[in-house]
Amino acid sequence: MSGQSKDITVVLDYSLPGTIDEVYQYLANPVNDEEWQSSCDKVTLKNPDMPIQKGTEYIIHFAFLSRKMNFEAQVSEYDKNKHYAYETLSGPLRYQGHYTFVPTESEVKIHWVFTATPGKFFGIIPHNLIRKTLIKRVSEDVERLKERFASWQRVKKAS
């Protein structure tokens, strides 16, 4: 072993303008991932006619570090307007993520924890480089997400 840790964990805190209902409804729907996550190519719900809830399963396709990855995943926690979590059921590596939502008067504070176990999927690429690239990509995605929500709020105020 090269002394690399088994898991890669990323913790990110940010805020989105809007109501708790708007923010939670958007982020707790995995289909929306393909709209704001640059690594996400496609999400397909296994039962699209059912509401999103704990146990909802979906197929998600990513491209990251020049590798295409397909996963079967599920919503592992759905506590409306408070918590949302997801985890892989199958795929080339294991990952899980957890959002905590805290509403304020004008925005929603979000605490996100993501853990992945890349194993040897990325070959000789060091885990610290994978983590650094992941943080950069997610930070850029969150900035795009903030702009999306700010734009929606401007439109809402103008109506």
CATH label of the domain that carries residue 53: 3.30.530.20
Residue 2 lies in a domain: no
Taking the CA of residue 115 as centre, how many other CA atoms within 13 Å lie in the half-sphere pointing to its CB?
A: 7
Q: Do 16 and 145 form a contact (C-beta atoms < 8 A)?
A: yes
Residue 3 lies in a domain: no
Residue 71 lies in a domain: yes
Residue 110 lies in a domain: yes
For residue 71 the two structure tokens come to 């996963």
Residue 1 lies in a domain: no
Host domain of residue 47: 8-158
> Total domain count for the chain?
1
What are the angstrom distances between the C-alpha of 63 and each of 57, 69, 98, 105, 107? 20, 6, 21, 37, 31
pLDDT in tens, 10-68: 999 999 999 999 999 999 999 999 999 999 999 999 999 999 999 999 999 998 887 89
Residue 105 lies in a domain: yes
pTM of the model: 0.90
For residues 19 and 158, give the distance between their C-alpha atoms in angstroms, rounded to a whole number: 17
pLDDT at 3: 43
Residue 17 lies in a domain: yes
For residues 154 and 115, give the distance between their C-alpha atoms in angstroms, rounded to a whole number: 34
